Structure 1
């Protein structure tokens, strides 16, 4: 079997700027659209597009798939982590209302879950399900995956075997691309390899 390649792309800036957005379905801002279009330019190395169902990902994915006549699959499990009571709040607002809880969350996501939020372990299992689905859908091909910062961090965690508690230490800028190749092994297993992170596609 051939190598399967995934380009993981975070969405651009949504309307409303930086905040704990999670499950909120805000669309991209004009700046966000420009960031994503600039990130891919006119290159077309992909055979298919996979996307989160949330608008800040799915609308760009649909535009790109249509422009390049590529098949598009929406993967529900690629949606961002739900932040519960923090949804819609900016960092300074969370700090004001919840004190040191935010620091605990950044330092060790396993030890603290925001009120009403999706526990990081459940999020990790959901992303693992998405990762298995994506490998089955894209086997032997080159896929663009349009998703979220939290999702990309967990995909990279699973590829590299990083500690779940430390995932927020990985920076994932708006419209950044990371490439993972999945190499088939003689014993029937697969070896995922991080080729680059937060770079540009060529």
Structure 2
């Protein structure tokens, strides 16, 4: 039986616009973020989703609720798909971080294999926890359709694991727009990427470096 994963990032948040690093901290969805989640909900409303898994962070959980709409689908919280823990950087603007931690900040965006967290997690640690999550739920819900609501780095980590992408190419395109849709079909050891970060349901997309 084939298990199908529908994977998305939460909608746009206030801190995304302010270019503040969120990580395990949180900020509210913007009006655009709410509308992005509504648009995704309409896009997949005819797909029979069996389970929704979400990061515990408010921006992800709220996105999951909006996408679900009035459908009777269980929402399950799983800590393994929360965003990377960025330690001291959380809540700081990218300009502030660049001024204080220039080398670490450069590596974060340009050489993730060299990035050493300041009180948080490495990219490898995130990939380990999300890969454990994927392996568990695909076996537990074999043959089902599962919506996963997560974050940029967690989503990139899932796809890095599925596509066997080295950390050096972690930030390679596509860009993960808020509520963009990724679809992966899994049968036994075979993992087929049907769609990766498609944002055709979102108006006025633009890339903002923010997680």
* TM-score (normalised: structure 1): 0.88
- Superimposed CA distance per residue, residues 131-160 of structure 1 (whole angstroms, 9 cap, x where no aligned partner): 122213331011111111111101111111
Q: For structure 1, which runs of at least 5 residues remain unmatched after alignment?
A: 185-189
Question: How do residues 1-202 of structure 1 correspond to structure 2 at under 5 angstroms?
Answer: 2-16=1-15, 17=17, 18-41=19-42, 43-45=45-47, 46-65=49-68, 67-170=70-173, 171-184=175-188, 190-199=189-198
| CA distance, structure 2, for counterparts of residue 168 and residue 36 of structure 1 | 24
State the number of aligned residues: 196
| CA distance, structure 2, for counterparts of residue 38 and residue 63 of structure 1 | 9
Contact kept in structure 2, 1:107 and 1:166, CA below 8 Å: no
Q: For structure 2, which runs of at least 5 residues remain unmatched after alignment?
A: 202-211
| CA distance, structure 2, for counterparts of residue 27 and residue 63 of structure 1 | 14
Of 123-132 and 154-163, the range deviating more from structure 2: 123-132
Distance change in 2, residues 1:177/1:167 (3 Å): same
Which residue of structure 2 lines up, in the alignment, with residue 187 of structure 1?
none
**What's the C-alpha RMSD, in Å, of the aligned pairs?**
1.9
- Superimposed CA distance per residue, residues 103-141 of structure 1 (whole angstroms, 9 cap, x where no aligned partner): 222222121223112122211111111112221333101
Shift, 1:166, TM fit:
2.5
Of 55-64 and 76-85, the range deviating more from structure 2: 55-64
Contact kept in structure 2, 1:44 and 1:68, CA below 8 Å: no
